[in-house]
Chain A
Amino acid sequence: MRVVLAEDVFLLRDGLIRTLQEHGCEVVAVDNGPSLLRALLDDGDAAPDVAVVDVRLPPTFTDEGLQAALEARRRRPGLPVLILSQYVEQLYANELLAGGEGAVGYLLKDRVTHTEQFIDAVRRVAAGGTVMDPQVISRLLLRSDARGTIGSLTPRERDVLELMAEGRSNAAIATGLHISESAVAKHTASIFTKLRIGPSADDNRRVLAVLAYLKR
């Protein structure tokens, strides 16, 4: 798997390169916005499988990384991008999800300390999936809860919804909650009925539907 990595802090970049390489990734590392855009767009046929991007990059030290990633996705629709940030901003998550085509992820930087989960997220985004940080999801859940829109769910269904919105598959949810996969399937069916989300075969569309519902 070819990964373009954009991170300007040397310590983190070094650690990320190692982690990715240990899991069999071929890494191209850049440390600023313009070279990130070049690495994502100018390679011609050898497009990267996924870009792992820090929101804040030189030269402006604002949201340069996010802007470059969004621009790259405008020119190459569906280009998989996983954004890493010190902060989870709903606004940025919305901008990433705006196209509605998936192959995006948005994680807090410290999630990389859980190597397996981080690599899993990279793989899922590269495969066209959607990965959202638990913090984004829990804030959305809190909000929806305060508006009384998910009051009809049982606590267990809420746990399942949370993991589903993060972009996990039924198998992963089953492992995470220590329940059987068929129980997860039962819960998801019930959630979809209660939230009036149409059935969908595609895992990724399932996540987008949940997110759209939560943001309402």
Chain B
Amino acid sequence: MFAEPRAVASRAGVALGRCQLVSLHALAVPVVGSLVVLALLLVPVGVGFLLLPPAARALRGLSDRARARADRWTGVRIGPPEPLPVDRALNARKRSGAIIADEGFWRDLAWAWLEPVAGGLLVAVPLALVEYGVFGALVQPFIWQLLDDGNWYAFVPVHSTATMGAALVLGLVFLAAGLLAAPATLRLHTRMSRPLLSAPRRIQLARRVERLTDTRTRALDAQAAELRRIERDLHDGAQARLVALGMTLDRATRLLETDPAAARELLLDVRRTSEGALQDLRDLVHGIHPPVLADRGLGDAVRSLALDSFLDVHVETRLPDRLPAPVESATYFAVSEALANAAKHSGARAVGIALTHENGLLRATVTDDGHGGADPARGTGLAGVRQRLDTFDGTLDLHSPQGGPTTVTMEIPCALSSPKTSSS
């Protein structure tokens, strides 16, 4: 992680700037929070009814920004509470009543009290360290001679060149500590404010149920469609060929005595038809569950895809022995689709596929060196993949700027399967 000192330094600098923004933001929060409290206090006199809705909305605006920042800066996604009840048809009194009855509003208010005290103080720590460090390292060397014996830097009495040097070193240490602490402080700040910023558990559960119902319906639809496709393929393909084969055999049997030459032709025909039927069945099985996937698991199945591709495909896998079969299958077809897209549309020559499994998350990335500009709205392939992954709470991210390169990232949360499924 520390292999790139410049990257670490720039990351720390950015984090420090963000700490500064958070601390400024933490100044605005109590102002708006106090407005809300004032509005609540004025409710008995009636003015509060007019004041409360805009004040509550302003507070929600601040908490929304805090959530957006948490996502952008630390990658922590915080599910927002239900939107404030703002029915314009209602009068001010009823509207205020609805707001007061809303759980999210009270959480916002609690956050408004906590944020300046706990959050503001927390993000001030790296800022103070850096500022004091700058004072020690850059200012002390120039001013200590002008000051008398009362000049102290932290615990160092600065009144000689030696102690000035010590103060300078100490200042640099403070500076470095502040910079290094900044990213961790931001993360801690997010973790601290998350309980109040996120939606109440009841709402989270309701949303989850809604989502699960939705994906289950889609999974069932997809399954039914898949079964229909298999049935149709068998009906029109292998079955039809076998019937034709039976008919030809019948004719050959009848011709055997009278016209052996014609019978021989028919029998050769039978062989060709049976080969066709076998090929049909083979393709069908490949579409349901590719044999290498069944034999070897995801890693080798993707390697086999790579071998079949017209592009130069480099596969890198860091996977445990086997993953749950449905996840393997979904990921395989998703990677296959991404690879096919790269081959068809991107104009790429080389593709890199990486498969990793870390912290219960399977991640597959497919990167090509094509011209980019892929649009997920066009074509049904990616939509189908997304739907496939949806069933597993998985996600698909497409990053494809004009001029390339295109990266498709797929993530599926999954635990490992039991060891009994490991191949020998």
User: Measuring CB to CB, which residues of chain A are less than 8 angstroms from any residue of chain B?
Assistant: 33, 55-56, 60, 62-64, 67, 86-87, 89-92, 94, 110, 113, 139, 142-143, 146-147
Contact = CB atoms under 8 A, between A and B. Distances in A.
The 6 closest A-B pairs by CB, nearest first: A146-B310, A63-B295, A90-B307, A62-B295, A91-B304, A87-B291
Given A62-B296, A63-B295, A63-B296, A91 B307 contact: yes
A60 B424 contact: yes
Nearest to A113: B271
A149 to B, nearest CB: 11
Interface stretch (B118-126, B191-199, B274-282, B334-342): B274-282
B286 interface: yes
Contacts of A89: 291-292, 304
Interface in B177-230: none
A143 B292 CA distance: 20
Given A64-B424, A91-B292, A142-B310, 12 more contacts: A67-B424, A86-B285, A87-B285, A87-B286, A90-B307, A90-B308, A91-B300, A113-B271, A113-B274, A143-B308, A146-B310, A147-B310
Contact of B294 (A62, A67, A142): A62
Contacts of A139: 308
Contacts of B359: none
Nearest to B422: A60
A62 B304 contact: no
A86 B289 CA distance: 14
Nearest to A59: B424
A110 B291 contact: no
B310 A60 contact: no
Given A56-B295, A110-B278, A113-B271, A143 B423 contact: no
Contacts of A56: 291, 295
B292 A110 contact: no
Contacts of A142: 310
Contacts of B304: 89-91
Contacts of B107: none
B-side interface mostly: helix
12 contacts: A62-B423, A63-B423, A67-B424, A87-B286, A87-B291, A91-B307, A110-B275, A110-B278, A113-B274, A143-B308, A143-B309, A146-B310
Most A CB atoms within 10 A — which of B282, B291, B308? B291
B371 interface: no
B304 to A, nearest CB: 4
B272 to A, nearest CB: 11
B18 interface: no
Contacts of A64: 424
Interface residues on B, range: 20 to 34
A87 B307 CA distance: 15
A92 B291 CA distance: 11
A143 B310 contact: yes
Contacts of A60: 423-424
Q: Which of A56, A64, A89 has the most CB of B within 10 A?
A: A89
Interface of B: 271, 274-275, 278, 282, 285-286, 291-292, 294-296, 300, 303-304, 307-310, 423-424
A86 B291 contact: yes
A143 B309 CA distance: 7
A146 B308 CA distance: 12
A90 B292 CA distance: 10
Contacts of A110: 274-275, 278
A91 B235 CA distance: 31
Given A62-B295, A146-B310, A91 B274 contact: no
Of listed A55, A87, A113, residue having the most chain B CB within 10 A: A87
Nearest to B278: A110
Nearest to A147: B310
B279 to A, nearest CB: 9
A86 B278 CA distance: 9
A212 B304 CA distance: 17
A86 B295 CA distance: 13
A89 B308 CA distance: 9
Contacts of A55: 295
Nearest to B292: A89
A92 to B, nearest CB: 8
Nearest to B297: A62
B424 to A, nearest CB: 6
Contact of B307 (A67, A94, A147): A94
Nearest to A109: B278
Contacts of A63: 295-296, 423
Contacts of B300: 91
A110 B277 CA distance: 11
A184 to B, nearest CB: 26
A110 B275 CA distance: 7
Contacts of A87: 282, 285-286, 291
A91 B299 CA distance: 12
B154 to A, nearest CB: 65
Indicate the member of A33, A63, A142, A147 with the most B CB atoms within 10 Å.
A63
Contacts of B292: 89, 91-92
A86 B271 contact: no
